[in-house]
A = this chain, B = another copy of it.
């Protein structure tokens, strides 16, 4: 990685955390460049503007997750195994990027139109999951559930867990925030997908 790429990535890393903690308006150019060890003009140089940096942060996060989901979806393996790996990709991603859920929440709450480059990365995920479901159905491995609905069942549980586990734990006292709950939830979602997509038993 050369000096320029390095500065660019440090700006992305620093601003990802600052946008997540303080929101778009609350993360100042000064704070971002200081934390990235870059000069004040670096954001304009690399991303055109703070808006451009924000769009790049979302795009990179979605691209990382979409790459993993797509790789799992493209494997030469039974559909149910690929779905299991996709569930794992979500949990591994959120463990690695703990600020991602807050960033996503802030973006959703702002109700602003998603930057097109970020949206392009985002939509690779439902496409990859739906293609696994369709292939599994075509081969008789999976039951004929509407692929969009099955995809929603997988993604909604994985993402909502990452997004609300702390808040629900604080509001209810339920143990959703315990470290071991992530693994339990991951196994549960795999089990849910297996049962939802299990073909009807052949009559004996």
Contacts and interface: CB of A to CB of B under 8 A. Distances in A.
* This chain: copies in complex: 2
A61 to B, nearest CB: 13
Band of interface residues on A: 35 or more
Interface in A114-171: 114, 118-119, 122-123, 126-127, 145-146, 148-149, 152-153, 156-157, 159-161, 163-164, 167-168, 170-171
Interface stretch (A2-10, A27-35, A40-48, A101-109): A101-109
A149 B198 contact: no
B153 A157 contact: yes
A137 B145 CA distance: 26
A172 B109 contact: no
Contact of A105 (B108, B123, B201): B108
